[in-house]
Amino acid sequence: MGRKTRGREISGWVNLDKPRELGSTPAVAAVRRMFNAKKAGHAGTLDPLASGILPVALGEATKTVQFMQAAQKVYEVTLCWGAATQTDDAEGDIIETSDHRPSAEDIGAALPHFTGDIMQIPPAFSAVRKDGVRAYKLARAGKKVTLAPRQVHINEIILADSASPDSCTLQVVCGKGVYIRSLARDLALYLGTFAHVAALRRTRVGPFDEKNAIGLEKLETLRHIVPDLAALDAHVLPLMTVLDDIPALAVSVEQASRIRQGQAISLVDLSDHRAAMADAGTTAQFVAVHDDMPVAICTCKDAAAHPVRVFNFPPHGAE
């Protein structure tokens, strides 16, 4: 017999403010341990040298991680001018130097060239696979890593601070797959110098921002306040937090039961299905809801709702 999975059946999102020098995987493991959750996962890896928003999914919320991977993200990055490093951040050895320091005017004029759809080559020290091996493993072994450029989208870059000639701070709003270290490297080359990331903080991922974020130290403190974990559970956000942009469709208890069994239901008898489908647009994807609890993520086809992600909450809601 296999070992029984331990932990509570708790579902929702923890808006974690990850500290520097801690990887995303151990950060998620720490949250899972504190909440004694059966399952946990994260939406969007954050480098160990970066701090900031790392949404952690617990229980059934892990089934919605895919909706966060494409979420818009906001970063605050400080660039150190005049030195390129092996890793494009402060951790690597310096490999190139330059005495040239771009002015605030030059930086501001260059930023539009790096917004919109751009081609970007990932850093050699990244998790991108090269011939089936992680690029950073090849780079650490001293092997030359040549990665193919890929298209990414950067919505906006704002020059937030350029008081020092040796550094500047940018605010970057972007989609998935953007490497901020590559942006720093490429921007510097465009300006005729070198640079690396000196500090990086993620301030927003989709609906998660700094306003309701909580750090590991605060979570650890709360864990010792109330033995039944009630103080911690107060910081778990609803699973529906990440589904706000998806139309919701109310279903009856009988329809909810059928959906939970993986069966499609007819949309004809649902009075609000036309409005929901209009909101869904071409994707025709929506959340079936009963008693304010998500039942499943469904797609519409042939006037029927077909479940594609079923949530295993008890009929009367989550525990």
- The CATH number of the domain holding residue 161 is 3.30.2350.10
Cβ atoms of residues 58 and 37 within 8 Å:
yes
Domain count along the chain: 3
Euclidean distance between CA atoms 65 and 71, whole angstroms: 10
- Tell me the residue length of the chain: 319
Note down pLDDT in tens along the chain; length 319 residues.
445 557 888 999 999 999 999 989 999 999 999 999 999 999 878 888 899 999 999 999 999 998 888 899 999 999 999 999 988 999 889 999 999 999 999 999 999 999 999 999 887 766 667 666 676 676 676 677 777 888 999 999 999 999 899 999 999 999 988 999 999 999 999 999 999 999 999 999 999 999 999 999 999 988 887 667 888 899 999 999 998 888 888 899 999 999 999 999 887 766 555 545 544 444 478 899 998 889 999 988 877 889 999 998 754 333 3
Domain of residue 222 covers: 12-71+208-240
What helix, strand, coil percent values describe the chain, rounded to 5? 30, 35, 35
Q: For every residue of 205-243, which 3-state class applies, written as one string?
A: ECCEEHHHCEEHHHHHHHHCCCCCCHHHHCCCECHHHHH
Q: Per the domain annotation, does 3 fall within a domain?
A: no
Q: Do 172 and 106 fall within a single domain?
A: yes
Active site residue 99: no
Secondary structure tally for the chain: helices H, strands E: 9, 19
* Candidate list 17, 47, 88, 186, residue with the active-site label: 47
| Amino acid letter, 180 | I
Q: Could you give the CA distance from residue 197 to residue 89 in angstroms, rounded to a whole number?
A: 4
Contacts of 117 (CB under 8 A, 6+ apart): 151, 152, 153
Tell me, yes or no, whether 77 and 93 share the same domain. Answer: yes
Residues 50, 105, single domain; the answer is no
